[in-house]
Amino acid sequence: MATTRKGYLAYLVRLWQVELKGCTTWRAQLENAHTGESHGFVSLEELFDFLRHRIEGYGTGTDTQREHTDP
Beta-bridge partners for 14: 29
Nearest to 48, CA basis, from 36, 60, 56, 58? 56
Nearest to 68, CA basis, from 9, 26, 1? 9
Compute the half-sphere exposure of residue 9: CA atoms within 13 Å on the CB side of its CA.
20
Digit-by-digit pLDDT tens for the chain (71 residues) are 334 457 788 999 999 999 989 999 999 999 999 899 999 999 999 999 999 999 987 765 544 544 444 44
Task: Quickly count: other Cβ atoms within 10 Å of residue 41's Cβ.
Answer: 19
Q: What number of residues does the chain have? A: 71
